[in-house]
Amino acid sequence: MNSQFNSIKLTLLFPVLTLCAVGAVSAQSVPWHNRAVTEHVDINLIQGELSNKKLDKLIRQGRVLFKANFTREDGVGRPMATQAIIPTKRKRPARHTFSRTAGLDANACSSCHNQPLVGGAGDFSTNVFVSEGFQLADFDSIDPQFSNERNTNHLFGAGLVELLAREMSRDLIALRTNALLTARSTGQDQRIALISKGIEFGFITASPDGLVKTNEIDGVDTDLIIKPFSQKGVMTSLRQFTVNALNHHHGMQATERFGSRWTGTDDFDEDGFSDEITSGDISALVAWQATLEPPQKMLPESLQWQAAAQRGQQVFQSLGCEQCHRPTLPLDSLMFEDPGPFDVAGTLRKTDIEKNNSSRYEVATEQWLQTLEQDEQGRWLVPLFGDLKRHVIADKTIDSLGNELLSQRFVERNVFMTAELWGVGSTAPYGHRGNMTTLPEVIAAHGGAARKTRDAYMALKAAEQSDIDAFLKTLIISEQ
């Protein structure tokens, strides 16, 4: 393990910049410099539809940044800024640059996202402590009253997930728009079901005066925008997730949120370094994450395992697990746009770019496109085993998955996004906190809306439970 990380560090010393990333702006340095980032990607040179060559270079630069051990000379640290998503000043300098609980808590993105390989999940030791950071800029306690402790999710197939969320958001917003138009033309209230890709999100009632009643919405915010990232489902895009994480975990502040446009200064955290991460750098990180190969369903060599997995999938379906863990969701297009249609203030937006000319590219690379099947309508079937919807997952007697005390973005404490199961065979431990070591443990911990299905699982014979385990462990992240 040490030799592996040593090799990464040596690679980053100076070959990083021999990549000559698309539109790179070189910083003067010597071969023994202490910077992980000595070139920045020029956002102006990666707009419009990218050629395969440009995209390949952008992805490679994104991988370099994801693996980079950021240093003081890159701008690591935020002595006068908190980990808050909204740029927030501190009253006094931080006592320590690094803090396991309040951050900085990692040297590289790959420090946490590394199982079974870079871009993957994390062990319990990589847990993060999520706090909005306004009042709790410094805390050195793991007590849940100070923060929510979360295990690291994997990023494989993340571009497909974001594309699904965008299409579903458009569907829900279109339903609302049509309901309002119908209500206005008929003069009568219109109560309609919110359904996209077979997933039900409750109802809205549109009135002729333009008001929309949202009290029956289920599993999505009232803006009807699916936010597929984070365990609570509160991050709209890979771009937003990346900007947040760079500040929280590394003190590397993106200009598109912490720069002079929004804060009036190019050194918001007062660490002596300006423009630490450019919008082009964020685009490179997004491109690398968005094009990560989706997890696969493995065919075990063992005939015994194959038979058990086949039986297990049938039992999984019969129990009703697939009501939330949908085996596939259909995707109309693989074309990814960055910035995307639902990026908001604090991340680069289409309107911030000349002629609204976002980068556009297909997330499916030639290496893994053949792993996706298509339905009779030509839509790509994304095998995520999820529904991109929030559910109540804990109750009074089964509350292990409702361990958090602090709400996040006004999402109830016992409500979480359905965990996508693709890759679950490669990403132990389990649970929001990563404190469950086996799949049977986390299944038994399901409460709330999943209580009935959980109870049915607990009533199974041991052999049938084992078959489900055998099936789930075929859902892996390929290491080839």
207-254 tens-digit pLDDT: 999 999 999 999 999 999 999 999 999 999 999 999 999 999 999 999
> Are residue 319 and residue 411 in the same domain, yes or no?
yes
CA distance linking residue 292 with residue 121, whole number of Å: 13
> Are residue 40 and residue 98 in the same domain, yes or no?
yes
The better pLDDT of the pair 16, 435 is held by 435
| 426 in Cβ contact with 366 (< 8 Å) | no
Between 73-87, 271-285, 402-416, the lowest mean confidence (pLDDT) is in 402-416
> Are residue 256 and residue 177 in the same domain, yes or no?
no
CA distance linking residue 255 with residue 50, whole number of Å: 23
pLDDT at residue 29 in the model? 61
> Are residue 286 and residue 301 in the same domain, yes or no?
no
Residue 135's pLDDT band, with cuts at 50, 70 and 90, is: low
CA distance linking residue 255 with residue 215, whole number of Å: 38
> Are residue 35 and residue 91 in the same domain, yes or no?
yes
> Are residue 305 and residue 416 in the same domain, yes or no?
yes
Q: Give the count of beta carbons closer than 10 Å to the beta carbon of residue 326.
A: 22
> Are residue 116 and residue 143 in the same domain, yes or no?
yes
Full residue range of the structural domain in which residue 26 is found: 2-153+234-290
Domain count, the chain: 3
> Are residue 283 and residue 260 in the same domain, yes or no?
yes
Place of tokens 């952008």: 58
112-134 tens-digit pLDDT: 999 999 999 999 999 999 876 55
| 255 in Cβ contact with 267 (< 8 Å) | no
Assigned domain for 7 exists: yes
Assigned domain for 374 exists: no
> Are residue 59 and residue 196 in the same domain, yes or no?
no
pLDDT at residue 297 in the model? 96
pLDDT at residue 21 in the model? 40
With 90 as the cut, is the pLDDT of residue 295 above it? yes
With 90 as the cut, is the pLDDT of residue 169 above it? yes
| 324 in Cβ contact with 450 (< 8 Å) | yes
Q: Which two tokens stand for residue 105?
A: 């808590």
306-345 tens-digit pLDDT: 999 999 999 999 999 999 999 999 999 999 999 999 998 8
> Are residue 303 and residue 396 in the same domain, yes or no?
yes
pLDDT at residue 81 in the model? 94
> Are residue 15 and residue 128 in the same domain, yes or no?
yes
Q: Considering the chain, what is the average pLDDT of its residues? A: 91
42-78 tens-digit pLDDT: 999 999 999 999 999 999 999 999 999 999 999 999 9
CB-count exposure of residue 45 (10 Å: 0-12, 13-18, 19+): middle
pTM of the model: 0.92
C-alpha separations of 136 from 133, 158, 179 in Å: 5, 30, 43
180-207 tens-digit pLDDT: 999 999 999 999 999 999 999 999 999 9
The better pLDDT of the pair 60, 27 is held by 60
> At CA 283, angle to CA 281 and CA 284, rounded to 5?
65
CA-based nearest residue to 240, from 169, 101, 105, 342: 342
pLDDT at residue 133 in the model? 56
